[in-house]
Amino acid sequence: MTPLLRMEGISKRYGGVRALEAAHLACARGRIHAVLGENGAGKSTLLKIAAGVVKPDTGTIELDGAPIALAGPAAARRLGIASVFQELSLLPDLTVADNIGISDPPTKWGLIDHRAQRRLAEAALARVGATDIHPLARVRDLPLSRRQLVEIAKALARDPKILLLDEATSALTAADVASVFRVLQKLRDHGLAIVFISHRMTEIAELADDCSVYRNGRHVSTFVAGSKAPTEIIEMMIGRDYSSVFPSRSPRSPGPPGPPGPVERSSDPPVLKVTNLSWAGRLRNIDFEIRPGEVVGLGGLDGQGQRDLLLALFGALTGVRGSVAVNGVNVTLSSPQSTQLRGGGIALIPEDRKTEGLMLPMSVRDNLSFAALDQLSRFGFIDQAAEQTAIASMIQLLRIRADGLDGPVAELSGGNQQKVVIGKWLMTRPQIILLNDPTRGIDVGTKQELYQLLHTLAADGAALLFYSTDYAELIGCCDRVLILYDGAIVRVLEGDAISEHNIVAGAHNLATAAQPAAEPRPPGRPA
Amino acid sequence: MTIGGLFRRIDRALVAATGCIVVLLIAGALYDRNFLSPDYLLQQLQVAAFLGVIATGVMLVVLLGHIDLSIPWVVTIGGMMSTAAAGHDGWAGSLAIPIAVASGLAIGVINGIGVAYLRVPSMIFTLATNAIAQGLMVVHTSGFAPEDHATPAMHALAVERSILGIPNAVVVWGVIGAGTVVVLKRTTFGRRVYAIGNSERAVYLSRGNVRRIVVACFAIAGACSAFAGVLLAGYSTKAYQAMGDPYLLPAIAAVVLGGTSILGGRGTYLGTVAGVVLVTLLQSMLSIMQISEAGRQVIYGAVIIVMLLVYGRSAKVVS
Amino acid sequence: MTSRRATDTRYWLASQRGPLLAAALFTAMFALFVVEHPAGLSANVVNTAANKGVLLALVAIAQTIPVLTSGLDLSVGSVFVLSNCVASSLVAGSPGEVALGVAAVLACGLLCGALNGLVVVIGRLQPIIATLATGAMYTGVALWLRPAPGGAINEDFADVITGSLGDRVPFSVILLVAVVVVIWIPYRRSVLGRAAYAIGSSEQAAYMSGVPVARAKFVAYVLAGLFAAIAGLVLTCLTYSGEANALLGGSYTLSSVAAVVVGGTSLYGGAGGAIGTIFGAFVLRTIGDLLFVFDIDPLSQPLFLGVVLLIAVSLGSFRLLKVKKRLDLYR
């Protein structure tokens, strides 16, 4: 049957970077098509072209056999192509109803008919199971997971023929994800064509009918979902041999041998000791310590205080009660500047690298040296030679790939950008490293490099506190996992006890370790 | 945008501004041969120096992504405080200039506190401090033109030429400018100023003391404006009401025409120098040609728009 | 059903917090003024206060619309003055000629706004510097029209605008209400009006949502020019002449920004509106009146005005005390 959407020979360059090279994609009616590939593979660009946000340099797009030219997002929408991207297209200061009806709202006498629009919004929200969202609420006041739901509701409100999703569920809670998947499957059965990008193999396994893999802007392969093994798929994506993702840390994880030797549980005094930490009702009596060389993970459902804990330890919160001791000495963390301590200090790899970790228009070099400026200067004057040497060695260590190190860091791929953020902090030689979901939206290849890096840092004596929404990461990287629920630590898992089952149980604050669930559950997102 | 592109962008501003200066010089020379005489050009530089000192402070604030609308009356305060102090015999007289600069610095600090600590948008906060500065001066002078005179030192700084026949004002501007260039390019402070203009949040999370830097930049801007007021008072040997008003638009225009983005995070001091010279020459030319005030305003506005269309355009929203 | 209406009202109230505060502030101040004024609530007192307030309110509405798109129009004062000069030349003669004259004044405002819109939208210049430059140009044209103060206006027409209905309700206020009902409210409920809010909220997201960004921005500046022209017309009715007073224009421009902020519209765009701005403008004007009524030394009045303005714009900073996450203070 003729595909509903067919893209052929699509090429797109951004300055010197080739985002897409003669790529093609075809999706049929009533099929869910997964698009896979590393960051920089061109997946987002391909979808943005289909959505009319970006214009291709060459190539054709056909809708139901007829060629179309998309002048902009409005044109795509009119043709029945709806899209949800990672950068949400919601207007924060407008209401949910206004957002859902933002393009082509129902009108009466030339003006917007707010009542009809509200009915439209309520229907759209109900369709995705978001009945707890009030149509008159301002989007700005909603948490990220609700916003993503509104975004999806908005896309579906127009009864599109094709739905494009780019990491559209990254911030959703598990219940929401399940609910959205049900809706998508139902719509698929009614003939909707869905193209979606995801870095999560579990999502792909659950949802996709067909898969296409891209690498370096080119199409590699298209196949029916389930016909290839995950390792095979990953190898297609990164184009090289794919061995264990996580360096082995302790006897608990059998498998191909990784870097030499497990890290011995040291008996040194703790680098970080947190006692009775509380904040604004969102963190309650947190007690834990980290020894040098330990990687401690924060687990639990999204929004239980994990991110707040990291911010508290970095001095970005006020009204924090309790005490924090570094190397046995109590410290008052009143601002990020107070994290600069003898012995290395505390570093934070923040939640959003684009707005919190980097100055996008500034060069890669300037970004790298930014946090260490005080150490690289005398009496306020920057020691240029020392700065360049430090930068060069960091670039080498992290294998940061950039065409122009003097060019703006905005031009780098997501994975390389995250490396710059980490490199910036490594230049301050921190003793304690806090990581806020560092591999979100990063491709498999770079993730692997980052895991290796974390392992090396721990082996060198740093103490790591690592928040991740990915269970596989917590299991693969951490010596201990603290499960947070409602701002308090409800469970501490160590060594062999760190398993997906226990993490899930702890996350839901289930007191006893119940029997594992009947049906096999793939690792990754919570139940 | 690669480094080549970035260079091209900033260079474009510098090239365009310099090109415009050359055009103006030629046009002026065609109108009146004396336009290109060294004496006249030095005089132009001298006048430009006053604007240049103000523009230095404005540039720092704009680099942060803010704006300072309190310039008019801080300049006036500088002029009036220095001449008022000069009126007293003894130690107050010899401290006329530092007192004036300190007044400007103080207002700058207040601006900085309002913007950095109270998080009031800079446009509206400096508007209010401008009104307060005006109010203070009205009270101080009871609404009349002040009778005080400038000190000989002020006059010497503003008018006389000591080194190689170069006006002192130009030398002073040069020193201030050189210091600014060093600070912007070589110090951690300067690096952070550019960074704050790009992303305050990222600077905060990278251990930068955002608030202190913002206060410092506004303080420097206030000091520069007040110092310019001192020079102006020295030039005319007295201060007068609203003496700073004619300098607000030209200062902002000079900074922007020099390639500094009004949104912050980008710009060079050399560009600002070119912008200042350009604006000064333009104003002189228009008055020499005896174009009516109406014509001058229209041409002034049109030139700014045309120049900015060449190199001051924002990127398209479409990727 | 009642609980739904209650929640709806709650949401609406939350979104109108700024304008409601400004309205409350103005009511309190005006009450104080009337109580303290020797003449009390007489027609003359109300009329004079209204006329001054309406002038600033109109210019401030002009400023509000581009600000909603997170832009700025620093030429509103110049368009205001220019329209005053145009009106002083053309709004004269027979009723037909007066009507044509009024149309010409409004057209002048529309043209100036259109030029601003072109420079900002197609030229892609930053509004703050672009409108500063166009403002200089409009001032120049005004000077060319009226090198010296002069001109006249059809006196019957002028008296209508500056009089009172039944000696109680000033016509200028009626005009203001009419302008809001006929122009602002339909605009706000139109696609282009909502688009302005969307652009100010997030231009990138607005574009991706298919909002007509270019058209909406352009219309915003055109409307600003229109409102400034209406204000200029009213000024001519009050002064019976035209004057190319650049200082007045500059002062109105800056005051319009203050009125926008006091009225609860965010300078970052996306929230606020004309109604709040109107109250903001009236608050600013009443401060001056209050100082007069309380017999504050005229020499100290500018200082008082400045201090009150400073306090008014800093009031919003109290909400900072509630912030528990310091990170949120930084944009």
**What single string gives the DSSP state of each residue in A255-324?**
SS--SSSPPP---SPPSEEEEEEEETTTEEEEEEEE-TT-EEEEESSTTSSHHHHHHHHTT-BSSEEEEE
B5 belongs to a structural domain: no
C28 interfacial to chain B (CB closer than 8 Å): no
The answer to whether residue C313 scores a pLDDT higher than 90 is no
C11 CB neighbours in chain A (<8 A) are 95, 134, 136-137
Average pLDDT, rounded, for chain A: 85
C201 CB neighbours in chain A (<8 A) are 91-94
A145 compared with A509, residue with greater pLDDT: A145
pLDDT of the residue at C53: 93
Judge contact between A503 and A318, C-beta under 8 A.
Answer: no
pLDDT of the residue at B7: 56
Average pLDDT, rounded, for chain C: 90
pLDDT band at A253 (very low <50, low <70, confident <90, very high): very low
B319 belongs to a structural domain: no
Judge contact between B196 and B210, C-beta under 8 A.
Answer: yes
Residue A40: what are its φ and ψ, rounded to 5°? 90, 0
pLDDT band at A39 (very low <50, low <70, confident <90, very high): low
- Average pLDDT on B121-149 reads 89
pLDDT band at A3 (very low <50, low <70, confident <90, very high): confident
Judge contact between C62 and C110, C-beta under 8 A.
Answer: no
A420 compared with B14, residue with greater pLDDT: A420
Asked if C133's CB is within 8 angstroms of B308's CB, the reply is yes
The answer to whether residue A443 scores a pLDDT higher than 80 is no
Q: What is the pLDDT of residues A93-102, one digit of tens each?
A: 999 999 999 9
- Average pLDDT on A402-418 reads 83
- Average pLDDT on C71-84 reads 96
Tell me the C-alpha distance between A349 and A424, whole Å: 9
β-pair partners for A381: A378, B187
Helix (H) or strand (E) holding A389: helix A384-398
pLDDT of the residue at C308: 86
Q: Mention every residue, 6+ apart, whose C-beta is less than 8 A from residue B243.
A: B75, B76, B79, B229, B232, B233
How many angstroms separate the CA of residue A124 from the nearest CA in chain C?
Answer: 16
Asked if B207's CB is within 8 angstroms of A55's CB, the reply is no
B150 interfacial to chain C (CB closer than 8 Å): no
The answer to whether residue A127 scores a pLDDT higher than 80 is yes
Q: How far is CA C129 from CA A76, A206, C125, C134, in A?
A: 35, 54, 8, 9
Q: What ranges make up the beta strands (E) of chain C?
A: 164-165, 169-170
Domain ranges of chain C: 19-330
Q: What is the pLDDT of residues C37-58, one digit of tens each?
A: 887 777 777 888 889 899 999 9
pLDDT of the residue at A228: 87
Tell me the C-alpha distance between B12 and B268, whole Å: 12
Out of C119, C204, C254, closest to residue B127 by CB: C254
How many angstroms separate the CA of residue C15 from the nearest CA in chain B?
Answer: 20
pLDDT of the residue at B6: 57
By C-alpha distance, the chain A residue nearest C212 is A74
By C-alpha distance, the chain C residue nearest A318 is C324
Tell me the C-alpha distance between C37 and C31, whole Å: 10
Q: Mention every residue, 6+ apart, whose C-beta is less than 8 A from residue B264.
A: B62, B63, B64, B65, B66, B196, B197, B198
How many angstroms separate the CA of residue A265 from the nearest CA in chain C?
Answer: 35
By C-alpha distance, the chain C residue nearest A105 is C191
Helices (runs of H) and strands (runs of E) counted in chain C: 15, 2
For the stretch C79-111, what's the b/e string if a residue is b when 16 or more beta carbons lie within 10 angstroms of its beta carbon? bbbbbbbbbbbbbbeeeeebeebbebbbebbbe
Out of B3, B188, B199, closest to residue A377 by CB: B188
pLDDT of the residue at A235: 77
How many angstroms separate the CA of residue A46 from the nearest CA in chain B?
Answer: 13
pLDDT band at A245 (very low <50, low <70, confident <90, very high): low
Asked if A55's CB is within 8 angstroms of B202's CB, the reply is no
pTM for the model stands at 0.87
Asked if B142's CB is within 8 angstroms of C306's CB, the reply is no
Give the long-range contacts of residues B162-171, CB within 8 A, separation 24 or more: B165/B42, B166/B42, B166/B45, B167/B42, B167/B43, B167/B45, B167/B46, B167/B49, B169/B46, B169/B49, B169/B50, B169/B231, B169/B235, B170/B42, B170/B45, B170/B46, B170/B48, B170/B49
Asked if A339's CB is within 8 angstroms of B191's CB, the reply is no
Share of chain C above pLDDT 90, in %: 56
Share of chain A above pLDDT 70, in %: 89
- Average pLDDT on A191-215 reads 87
Residue A348: what are its φ and ψ, rounded to 5°? -125, 120
B84 belongs to a structural domain: yes
Helix (H) or strand (E) holding A81: strand A81-84
pLDDT of the residue at A486: 84
pLDDT band at B252 (very low <50, low <70, confident <90, very high): very high
- Which amino acid is residue A9, in one-letter code? G
Q: How far is CA A291 from the centre of its chain?
A: 28
For chain A, how long is the longest CA-to-CA vector? 76
The answer to whether residue A450 scores a pLDDT higher than 80 is yes
B2 belongs to a structural domain: no
How many angstroms separate the CA of residue A329 from the nearest CA in chain C?
Answer: 24
Asked if B297's CB is within 8 angstroms of C133's CB, the reply is no
B165 compared with B300, residue with greater pLDDT: B300
pLDDT band at B126 (very low <50, low <70, confident <90, very high): very high
Q: What CATH number corresponds to the domain at position B102?
A: 1.10.3470
Burial class (CB in 10 A: 0-12, 13-18, 19+), A166: buried
Q: What is the pLDDT of residues C230-275, one digit of tens each?
A: 999 999 999 998 999 988 999 999 999 999 999 989 899 999 999 9
pLDDT band at A1 (very low <50, low <70, confident <90, very high): low
Q: How far is CA B303 from the centre of its chain?
A: 19
B281 interfacial to chain C (CB closer than 8 Å): no
Weakest-pLDDT range from A228-242, A274-288, B267-281, C166-180? A228-242
Concatenated DSSP letters of B57-68: HHHHHHHTT---
Scan residues 241-260 of B and list those with Cβ closer than 8 Å to C.
249, 252-253, 256
Judge contact between A213 and A37, C-beta under 8 A.
Answer: yes
Weakest-pLDDT range from A268-282, A316-330, B84-98, C216-230? B84-98
The answer to whether residue B300 scores a pLDDT higher than 80 is yes
Report the half-sphere exposure of A464 (CA within 13 A, side-chain side): 31
C124 interfacial to chain B (CB closer than 8 Å): yes
pLDDT band at A257 (very low <50, low <70, confident <90, very high): very low
Closest CA to A151 of A60, A85, A77, A206: A85
Radius of gyration of chain C (CA): 20
C204 compared with B225, residue with greater pLDDT: B225
- Average pLDDT on B218-229 reads 97
Residue A260 is encoded by which pair of tokens?
Answer: 């030499």
pLDDT of the residue at C11: 86
Residue B273 is encoded by which pair of tokens?
Answer: 């120098």
Judge contact between A51 and A74, C-beta under 8 A.
Answer: no
How many angstroms separate the CA of residue A527 from the nearest CA in chain B?
Answer: 34
What order do you get walking across the sheet with A193-197 strand by strand? Answer: A81-84, A162-166, A193-197, A32-36, A210-215, A218-224
A289 compared with A73, residue with greater pLDDT: A289
B306 belongs to a structural domain: yes
Closest CA to A439 of A469, A464, A401, A477: A469
β-pair partners for B166: B163
Q: How many domains are contained in chain B?
A: 1
By C-alpha distance, the chain B residue nearest C205 is B317
pLDDT of the residue at A241: 52
B199 CB neighbours in chain A (<8 A) are 355, 358-360
C268 CB neighbours in chain B (<8 A) are 121
pLDDT of the residue at A107: 92
Per DSSP, the three-state class of A490 is strand
A/C interface, count of CB pairs below 8 Å:
95
B1 belongs to a structural domain: no
pLDDT band at A527 (very low <50, low <70, confident <90, very high): very low
Residue C5: what are its φ and ψ, rounded to 5°? -65, -35
Tokens 């009443």 belong to which residue?
Answer: C286
Out of A355, A373, A381, closest to residue B201 by CB: A355
- Average pLDDT on A476-487 reads 90
How many angstroms separate the CA of residue C56 from the nearest CA in chain A?
Answer: 27
pLDDT band at C317 (very low <50, low <70, confident <90, very high): confident
Closest CA to A460 of A246, A249, A263, A273: A263
Residue B214: give the domain boundaries: 10-311
- Average pLDDT on A11-29 reads 85
Asked if C194's CB is within 8 angstroms of A98's CB, the reply is yes
Helix (H) or strand (E) holding A66: strand A66-68
The answer to whether residue A308 scores a pLDDT higher than 80 is yes
- CB neighbourhood size of B40 (10 A): 15
Asked if C203's CB is within 8 angstroms of B204's CB, the reply is no
Helix (H) or strand (E) holding A343: none
Tell me the C-alpha distance between B29 and C49, whole Å: 55
- Average pLDDT on A160-185 reads 84
What is the DSSP pairing of strand A218-224 with strand A432-436? unpaired
Residue range C19-330 forms a domain whose CATH class is mainly alpha
pLDDT band at B317 (very low <50, low <70, confident <90, very high): low
Neighbours of chain C (3+ CB pairs under 8 A): A, B
pLDDT band at A248 (very low <50, low <70, confident <90, very high): low
Tell me the C-alpha distance between C294 and A495, whole Å: 77
- Average pLDDT on B252-275 reads 93
Tell me the C-alpha distance between B50 and B226, whole Å: 11
Neighbours of chain A (3+ CB pairs under 8 A): B, C
Angle between helices B168-186 and B38-63 (to 10 degrees): 30
The answer to whether residue B147 scores a pLDDT higher than 80 is no
The answer to whether residue A247 scores a pLDDT higher than 80 is no
Tell me the C-alpha distance between A198 and A163, whole Å: 14
Residue B33 is encoded by which pair of tokens?
Answer: 């041969």
Asked if B114's CB is within 8 angstroms of C307's CB, the reply is no
pLDDT of the residue at A40: 63
B120 compared with C156, residue with greater pLDDT: B120
Asked if C313's CB is within 8 angstroms of B313's CB, the reply is no
Residue C25 is encoded by which pair of tokens?
Answer: 């502030």
Q: What is the pLDDT of residues A340-361, one digit of tens each?
A: 998 889 999 998 898 899 999 9
By C-alpha distance, the chain A residue nearest B195 is A359
Average pLDDT, rounded, for chain B: 89
- Average pLDDT on C277-302 reads 86
Q: Euclidean distance between the first and final Cα of chain B, in Å? A: 12
Q: What ranges make up the beta strands (E) of B45-189?
A: 161-163, 166-167
The answer to whether residue A380 scores a pLDDT higher than 80 is yes
Asked if C317's CB is within 8 angstroms of B120's CB, the reply is yes
The answer to whether residue A512 scores a pLDDT higher than 50 is no
Per DSSP, the three-state class of A162 is strand
Judge contact between A191 and A29, C-beta under 8 A.
Answer: yes
- Average pLDDT on B240-258 reads 91
The answer to whether residue A285 scores a pLDDT higher than 80 is yes
Q: Which residues of A touch B (CB under 8 A)?
A: 14-16, 48, 53-55, 72, 314, 316, 335-337, 339-340, 348, 350, 355-363, 366, 370-371, 373-374, 377, 380-382, 384, 403-404, 406-408, 411, 424
How many angstroms separate the CA of residue B1 from the nearest CA in chain C?
Answer: 18
pLDDT of the residue at B3: 52
Tell me the C-alpha distance between A490 and B85, whole Å: 69
A/B interface, count of CB pairs below 8 Å:
95
